[in-house]
Amino acid sequence: MEENRHIISVLLENESGALSRVAGLFSARGYNIETLTVAPTDDPSLSRMTIVTTGSESVIEQITKQLNKLIEVVKVLNLADRNHIERELMMVKVRATGDLRDEVKRLAEIFRGRIIDVTESIYIIELTGECSKLDAFVETLKVTEILELVRSGVSGIARGESSLSLNGHKSKKSN
């Protein structure tokens, strides 16, 4: 069966243990996690999680249902089903000496990255965007040496009216 990339948003109670339930669910059932991000929302009693995973339609359906089954999960929304925006933050520390200082700075500008720390031999560049843009930037940085790289994982949000919130009209939870 065809395996596609899916981005699943989860609204869950901001309680200790909730994250390990989600992580445990994925490992116990053999589902794949590419990235997972989580942080509290504007309502401090709720956390918002974004999971990027791959799987066939039936696997993704099971993931959604199994997530819904967790007692602390309030709502689940598969963003891949609708128009949405996704972003990831990357910080990359690169060697920047000699001619490379200008070259790397130019590359960062082309990708709308920002240099957020500078030493005599090093830049740290911050870049936000879709995963593919980050991947492309990493590819171009092969002109120099990458000393360290950190990516946040993907966060996503649906476009337009549909919203994943307590009162949102989408994806009513049923156990």
Partner 1 sequence: MELTGADILVRCLRDEGVKYIFGYPGGAALHIYDALYRQDEVRHILVRHEQGASHAADGYARVTGEPGVVLVTSGPGVTNTITGIATAYMDSIPMVVISGQVPSHLIGDDAFQEVDALGVSRPCVKHNFLVRDVNDLALTIKKAFYIANSGKPGPVMVDIPKDVTAALAEYHYPETVSMRSYNPTLRGHSGQIKKAAKLLLSAKRPIIYTGGGVTTAGGEQELRSLVRRLDYPCTNTLMGLGCFPANDPLFIGMLGMHGTYEANMAMHDCDVMLAVGARFDDRITGDLNKFAPYAKIIHVDIDPASIGKNVKVEVPIVGDAKLVLADLVATIEKLKLEPNYDALKAWWNQINSWRSVDSLSYDRNSSKIKPQYVLEKLYEVTNGEAFVTSDVGQHQMWAAQFYRFDTPRRWVNSGGLGTMGFGLPAAMGVHLAYPESDVVCVTGEASIIMCIQELSTCKQYDIPIKIINLNNRYMGMVRQWQEFFYDRRYSHSYMDALPDFVALAKSFGHDGVRIDDPADVEGALRETMKRKKDLVFMDFITDQEENVYPMIAAGSGHNEMHLSPKAESEEPAPQERELA
Site membership for partner 1, residue 69 (CB under 8 A): yes
Our CB check for partner 1 shows the closer of 66 and 128 to be 66
How many CA atoms does the CB half-sphere of 51 hold within 13 Å?
24
Contact residue for partner 1 among 5, 65, 82, 112 (CB under 8 A): 65
Site membership for partner 1, residue 68 (CB under 8 A): yes
Our CB check for partner 1 shows the closer of 2 and 120 to be 2
Sites for partner 1 among residues 39-58 (CB under 8 A): 58
Query: What's the CA gap between 71 and 21, in Å, rounded?
Result: 10
Task: Determine how many CB atoms are found less than 10 A away from the CB of residue 107.
Answer: 18
Sites for partner 1 among residues 156-175 (CB under 8 A): 166, 173-175
Contact residue for partner 1 among 8, 22, 74, 107 (CB under 8 A): 74
Beta bridge partners of 112: none
Q: What DSSP letter does each residue of 10-72 carry, written as one string?
A: EEEE--TTHHHHHHHHHHHTT---SEEEEEE-SSTTEEEEEEEEEE-HHHHHHHHHHHHHSTT
| Cα–Cα distances in angstroms (integers) from residue 98 to residues 92, 109, 119, 120, 146, in the given order | 19, 18, 13, 10, 16
Site membership for partner 1, residue 71 (CB under 8 A): yes
Our CB check for partner 1 shows the closer of 65 and 112 to be 65
Contact residue for partner 1 among 3, 4, 5, 24 (CB under 8 A): 24
Residues near partner 1 (CB under 8 A) are: 12-13, 17, 20-21, 24, 28, 58, 61-62, 65-66, 68-69, 71-74, 166, 173-175
